[in-house]
Amino acid sequence: MKNKIEFIAFDADDTLWENELYFQELEHKFCHLLRKYSPAPSVSEELFKTEIKNLHIYGYGLKGMLLCMIETICKVTNGEGDLNLVKEILRLGQELLQRPITLLDGVQEVISALHENYKLVLATKGDLFDQKRKISASGLQEYFCHIEIMSDKKNADYKRLLDHLGCKAENLLMIGNSIKSDIIPILELGGYAAYVPHHVTWAHEQYEGEVTHSHFIKLNNIKEIQNYL
């Protein structure tokens, strides 16, 4: 791998900076607000079902989650929920949309070091406006030769990215925390992929299988990638 890689692509949320933890904190507050209508596990289950149902409409990101929370309020309360519940959810969401970015351990060091010898790409999915805000606030924007905010991370989405970069799959290394979104599609295209587990993962991104592939690397933390390059 060492002599083949020209481009290194990074996922953003929960690979470079903290994200899902804040979404889970918001969900816990949401469940607490609805505690008199339904137990927390039931509210979480209903919210998740609503999010998956609406993914093709809202896409990924906090704004879609907030809309799904409002829809879940209507379902859980049988349409009788207090409007103040909606106001509080919007307030919490707006608060999260303005939260400072917290880089994960080793990220600044690794990005700075790899930038000297490789073309770095940021490949993230989510709400366009919010992702742009986070990228700008991270202080990492200057290191990337290309930033791609994707609506999804399927094989076809990565193929378009490779075509745009003028890069063959075997010359790309993708680094991310989601086996489903960051690892498997790249491996199937013939690229290299490094998995960096994160301590919290959204249920939709969880993967129960085992990845066995000669182009696959599992890291304990992002700093270990330098041992393979």
With 90 as the cut, is the pLDDT of residue 63 above it? yes
| 54 and 64 inside one domain | yes
Asked if residue 124 belongs to a domain, the reply is yes
| 109 and 27 inside one domain | no
List pLDDT tens digits, range 134-158. Answer: 999 999 999 999 999 998 999 999 9
| Domain of 74, in residue numbers | 20-97
| 164 and 113 inside one domain | yes
Domain boundary among 97, 130, 157: 97
Helical residues (DSSP H) of 166-223, grouped into ranges? 184-189
Predicted model pTM:
0.90
Q: State the total domains in the chain.
A: 2
| 40 and 135 inside one domain | no
With 70 as the cut, is the pLDDT of residue 69 above it? yes
List pLDDT tens digits, range 74-113. Answer: 999 988 778 899 999 999 999 999 999 999 999 999 999 9
| 87 and 161 inside one domain | no
- CB-side exposure of 31: number of CA atoms within 13 Å? 16
Domain holding 142: CATH number? 3.40.50.1000
Q: What is the mean pLDDT of residues 170-181?
A: 95
With 80 as the cut, is the pLDDT of residue 32 above it? yes
Q: What is the mean pLDDT of residues 161-165?
A: 98
Confidence of residue 217 (pLDDT cuts 50, 70, 90): very high
CA distances for 25 relative to 22, 32, 126, 194, angstroms: 5, 11, 18, 28
Asked if residue 2 belongs to a domain, the reply is no
Report whether 162 contacts 169 (CB < 8 A). yes
Query: Considering only CA atoms, which of 75, 73, 51 is closest in space to residue 63?
Result: 51
Strand-pairing partners, residue 194, are 175, 217
| 189 and 208 inside one domain | yes
Domain holding 46: CATH number? 1.10.150.240
Highest mean pLDDT pick, 89-98, 199-208, 210-219: 89-98
Mean pLDDT of the chain: 93
